[in-house]
Amino acid sequence: MDIYKLNLRHLRAFLETARAGSISAAASEVHLSQPAITQALAKLEKTLGAALFFRNRGGIFLTEPGEGFRDRVARVQDHLRQGAERCGRAGGRKRSGGFQHFDHLLTSAQLRALLAVEDSGNFSWAARQVGIAQPALYRTARDLERISGVPLYEKTAQGIELTPAAQALALSTRLAYAELKQGIDEINAWLGHDSAEVVIGTMPLARSYVLPKAINDLTRLRPEIRVRVIDGPYADLLHGLRHGQFDLLIGALRDPVPADDVEQAPLFDDALAILARSGHPLSEQETVTIRDLATYAWVTPPEGVPTRVLFESLFSEAGIAAPSRIVETSSQIVLRGLLMGSDRLTILSPHQVRLEMEQGLLSQLNVELKAASRTIGLSTRKDWQPTATQSLLLDLLATAARKRFD
């Protein structure tokens, strides 16, 4: 189902009817006639494939899936309301410009156009992304600008960029539609065909055992579930999480927490070691000192990554200058190739290269590391409310993390 084809006014009519328990009371709130609301609710139920209300002499009441969907739609409306407020503040909207509560006037077409322009940086490319003619998308994008009362788009040398006001609205829009998607997934699960998609951002260590184990267990229990695992630089993953493009991140936790709207939960602490190719000159030494390590070239992760911080503190605490001959990479494939083809060293969890160590390709140096570990865990949005399937995945991840030490 294309969530951008759902009518936002119909969703608002549904929410007001659920709150009031009456179509007539909802009609005055959303400025629609009673027949129009009745028609809107019928169309929404047909689209979702589930009855949201049942009626008897006592009035109109929510069904079980209707109750869950009401909560999701309420969160959708909250995101859009907050986005409109932030948009107005960031744009310095004057009282004479736009509509005070323009979130009530938003359409899915307008918000889809906003996100497409943000993604593509060009009205023509945005139109192709949405699948409509460029003039139609341009008019829709400008209609949103008109009702908001603030500039949303600005020309740059690179194309079209969103203003800070538009970025605030786009962020809330993405979160709103992520919420709506979860609501639809919950209805489908209630109907007996749980074919939701779970999107996970991942960093290296979790990919080796914990995440594959949890995914295999999840898909055995929920065979129709689709799982997307995306890796990349931490900054990109964090951006995707905060914008509703990922359900959760798993990997090394940051200290302090990277953003106010993100929370972290530990899964396990992972010890680190100094690794090199088998047959490395230092692999024959009974004891390896920090000064020995400083004489070799290294492979390190980029700055800001917890393992890089540990690498730098390893030498600073010993009063020795850190090696300057380093190659930075986040790719385990590149790291493996660099270690195998040279005398470079790296600081890494042995679990990440367990197969290479079992095959005798890499070895752990006999170095005493003080408190060299990092915490691996989950990062989620603070206001995230997981579906039953997402909650099951969280439980399975915790179980896999415990079994890792069995």
Question: DSSP letter string over 128-181?
Answer: HHHTS-HHHHHHHHHHHHHHHTS--EEEETTEEEE-HHHHHHHHHHHHHHHHHH
238-241's contacts with Cβ under 8 Å and 24+ in sequence apart are 238/262, 238/379, 240/201, 241/201, 241/379, 241/380, 241/381
Per-chain mean pLDDT for the chain: 91
- Other Cβ atoms less than 10 A from the Cβ of 61: the count is 13
Are 27 and 76 in a shared domain? yes
For residue 181, being part of any structural domain is answered with no
CATH number of the domain enclosing 383: 3.40.190.10
Residue 334 has, within 13 A of its CA and on its CB side, a CA count of 10
Are 261 and 388 in a shared domain? yes
Taking CA atoms, 35 is separated from 13, 24, 29, 49, 223, in Å, by 12, 9, 14, 21, 41
d(CA 3, CA 19): 23
In this prediction, residue 149 has a pLDDT band, given cuts at 50, 70 and 90, of very high
Q: What does the pLDDT read at residue 206? A: 60
CATH number of the domain enclosing 62: 1.10.10.10
Lowest mean pLDDT among 93-107, 150-164, 165-179, 389-403: 93-107
Here the tokens at position 151 are 């500039």
Q: In terms of residue numbers, what domain contains 282?
A: 273-371
For residue 183, being part of any structural domain is answered with no
For residue 186, being part of any structural domain is answered with no
Are 135 and 31 in a shared domain? yes
Percent of the chain, pLDDT > 90? Answer: 73
Taking CA atoms, 355 is separated from 113, 147, 361, in Å, by 47, 59, 9
As a whole number, mean pLDDT of residues 158-172 equals 95
As a whole number, mean pLDDT of residues 333-358 equals 90
In this prediction, residue 371 has a pLDDT band, given cuts at 50, 70 and 90, of low
As a whole number, mean pLDDT of residues 225-232 equals 92
Residue closest to 191 by CA, chosen among 14, 107, 66, 294: 66
Are 60 and 138 in a shared domain? yes
Are 99 and 240 in a shared domain? no
Tokens 């915490």 found at:
375
Q: What does the pLDDT read at residue 328? A: 95
What lies within 8 Å, CB to CB, of 104 at 6+ separation is 12
Question: Is the CB of residue 300 less than 8 Å from the CB of residue 346?
Answer: yes
Question: Is the CB of residue 72 less than 8 Å from the CB of residue 183?
Answer: yes
Kindly state the DSSP code that residue 124 receives in the 8-state scheme. H
Who wins on pLDDT, 32 or 178?
178
Are 159 and 79 in a shared domain? yes
Domain count, the chain: 3
Alpha helices of 192-329 — where are they, by DSSP H?
A: 204-208, 210-221, 234-242, 290-294, 306-316
Are 289 and 256 in a shared domain? no
Q: What does the pLDDT read at residue 205? A: 58
Question: 69-79: per-residue pLDDT in tens?
Answer: 999 999 999 99
Question: 274-307: per-residue pLDDT in tens?
Answer: 999 999 999 988 889 999 999 999 999 888 888 8
In single-letter form, the type of residue at position 259 comes to A
φ/ψ of 159, rounded to 5, equals 145, -130
For residue 226, being part of any structural domain is answered with yes
pLDDT for 270 beyond 50: yes
Q: What does the pLDDT read at residue 98? A: 61
d(CA 97, CA 88): 10
Are 11 and 122 in a shared domain? yes
pLDDT for 204 beyond 70: no
Are 257 and 282 in a shared domain? no
Question: 117-137: per-residue pLDDT in tens?
Answer: 999 999 999 999 999 999 999
Are 265 and 159 in a shared domain? no
For residue 189, being part of any structural domain is answered with no
Are 299 and 223 in a shared domain? no
The pTM assigned to this predicted structure is 0.85
DSSP-assigned beta bridge partners for residue 159: 156
For residue 176, being part of any structural domain is answered with no
pLDDT for 95 beyond 50: no
Are 260 and 396 in a shared domain? yes
For residue 286, being part of any structural domain is answered with yes
Question: 26-77: per-residue pLDDT in tens?
Answer: 998 888 899 999 999 999 999 999 999 998 877 899 999 999 999 999 999 9
Q: DSSP E strands: which ranges in 240-372? A: 248-252, 262-271, 273-277, 298-300, 326-328, 346-348, 362-364
d(CA 290, CA 313): 11
